Amino acid sequence: MKKITNNEKNGILDWINQSLKKDNDVKNLLPINENDNNSFKNAFKNGILLCKIANISIRSTIFENEEKVRENFILFLNAAKSLGCNINGVTIQELLECDEQSVLLLVWEVIVVGLIKKIYSVEPSRFVSLLKDKETIKTYYELPPREILIRWVNFQLNRAWMERRIKNFNNDIKDSEVYTVLVRRITTKDAGVNIDALNEEDLEKRASMVLENADKIGCKRFLKPTDIVNGNSRLNFAFIANIFNTNLALPEIDLNNINKTIDENIITSTNVFNYSMIHSSNTNSMDSLFRNWINSLGICERYVYDLYLCTHDGVVLITLFNKIFPSLVDHERVVYPPFKSSRSREKLENCHYVVELSKRCGYNVSGINGVEIYNKGRRGTLRILNCLMKSYYSFQIDPNLKKDLNEMQIIQTINIILEKENKRQICGARFLISPDYNDFLAILDFINLIKPKTVNYSLVHYVKISSNDYKITDLVVSYCFKIGCNFYGNPLDFDNYREFDSTYLLFSLLTLYKIKQ
């Protein structure tokens, strides 16, 4: 992870101060004075502020906050991993000591993950205006976040009759002209936003006027005038992403009108079909689980934002094999980027090698070949990732295993442990189809065996009888994070149940149980 500069520190603290200023739980910790080290340490010393930050990025990532400092830091660290943040090199001790770089690096990762998730949550009826000729709705989900934001800015500039276009978030925005027009374009006349900054010759004063306008629409986050003038790419990305997520200003298009042309983007019936496949909650749940796992391992130079696009050259999957089976991969057979062309034969050869590695590991990959992975096929990619994650957990549970554990073996092992302690058990047959409240109570009992006195059963009862937004699954995942469990889903994954999510929760819990024995 790249070191956080002093300007970026100020931007992060500004975001925290603005985002949580109305939260009663942390109002005594804010605002954080960027020039006062004691103010920084006081704000982060008990870990509650970090937990709040994680919950902003993904709702219900963490269920409760308590005045238990070490547990709060463990909660945040594991929540960050579950969101797909790369926490390599950051330890609990560094967080306990409020090491500035460690805290800021993790907070920045969590902020960016939250921003990116919202970028990909835009409805197709809105984002179709950003697609180019012959692109489908699926294309949007394959674009890097920066490319989406650049297209959005240029779309707004075009609508404002401005000839300029941007290609980056540093040199192209330094003079504040683009920002001036952008902020005015996406707001209504009664917002009080103007373009007077275009008449100001001093670049820093012009940037100040831009931020004054941004403040009028509630988007003054991350930046100071010098960050615009100096072209800080990371902070400008966050600033634009925040504006995009809160003031989209894209026309709503009727997707049923399949012959309609919008800004030279033709919407076809294929587009609508792709949307229904990509945007289903089942797909998102599984994709995010594996995506978060890969990103949290810190083994890839690039952030995996689209599971199939980012794995279709075979490199990420081969890197995973190398992580789990260190002596398996013959690196002379792997072709790493840069490739000779975007449709390189080298990528296909990598994908064939992925299938070969899978067979050597004993995985069931019948009917799967390298072409399917190269073509971003969901079935083949998910099956291989499913096998890899089982191997990842199985080797942690027992390094001497000759064969990966399966779902029923995990449930049976946990039930044996629960039975010895006279605790309720998980119904295996039901759990693999659709777990109910009693199954999750059994999981809470198992959590309490791993770390006694962790579960507050009065809170469990409150969740059962209350009508608020929290569910038993929120509580289960929160307690998993609290005891240090490496689970890469989040409570929202259980809203639309998939076998992968719940069984991997059990894999991660049994792994932690074995480590603590």
Q: Is the pLDDT of residue 409 over 60?
A: yes
Q: Is the pLDDT of residue 473 over 80?
A: no
Burial of 327 (0-12, 13-18, 19+ CB in 10 A): exposed
Q: Which CATH class is domain 6-118?
A: mainly alpha
CATH 2.60.40 describes domain 407-516: no
Instruction: Tell me which range, 78-87, 232-241, 301-310, 437-446, is most confidently predicted by mean pLDDT.
Output: 232-241
What's residue 493's pLDDT? 57
What's residue 274's pLDDT? 32
Percentage of the chain beyond pLDDT 90 is 46
Q: Is the pLDDT of residue 105 over 70?
A: yes
Burial of 451 (0-12, 13-18, 19+ CB in 10 A): middle
Q: Is the pLDDT of residue 289 over 80?
A: yes
Q: Is the pLDDT of residue 64 over 60?
A: no
Q: Is the pLDDT of residue 91 over 50?
A: yes
Q: What are phi and psi of 263, to 5 degrees?
A: 45, 45
Over residues 80-103, mean pLDDT: 84
Q: What is the pLDDT of the chain when averaged over all its residues?
A: 84
pLDDT category of residue 464 using cuts at 50, 70 and 90: low
For the segment(s) 281-397, the CATH number from 1.10.418.10, 1.20.1270.360, 1.20.1260.10, 3.40.640.10 is 1.10.418.10
pTM, whole model, 2 decimals?
A: 0.74
Over residues 349-374, mean pLDDT: 94
- Neighbouring CB atoms inside 10 A of 352's CB total 16
The CATH homologous superfamily of the domain defined by 124-274: Calponin-like domain (1.10.418.10)
Distance CA 68, CA 451 (A): 14
- CA distance readout (Å), 4 to 30, 42, 91: 21, 20, 17
Q: Return the DSSP state at 173.
A: G
Domains 281-397 and 407-516 share a fold: yes
Q: Is the pLDDT of residue 242 over 70?
A: yes
CA nearest to 18, candidates 179, 202, 221, 316: 221
Do residues 446 and 414 lie in contact, with contact meaning Cβ atoms separated by under 8 Å?
yes
Do residues 300 and 320 lie in contact, with contact meaning Cβ atoms separated by under 8 Å?
no
Domain layout of the chain by residue ranges? 6-118, 124-274, 281-397, 407-516
What's residue 178's pLDDT? 95
> Going along 204-305, which residue ranges are E strands?
261-262, 265-266
pLDDT category of residue 133 using cuts at 50, 70 and 90: confident
What's residue 472's pLDDT? 77
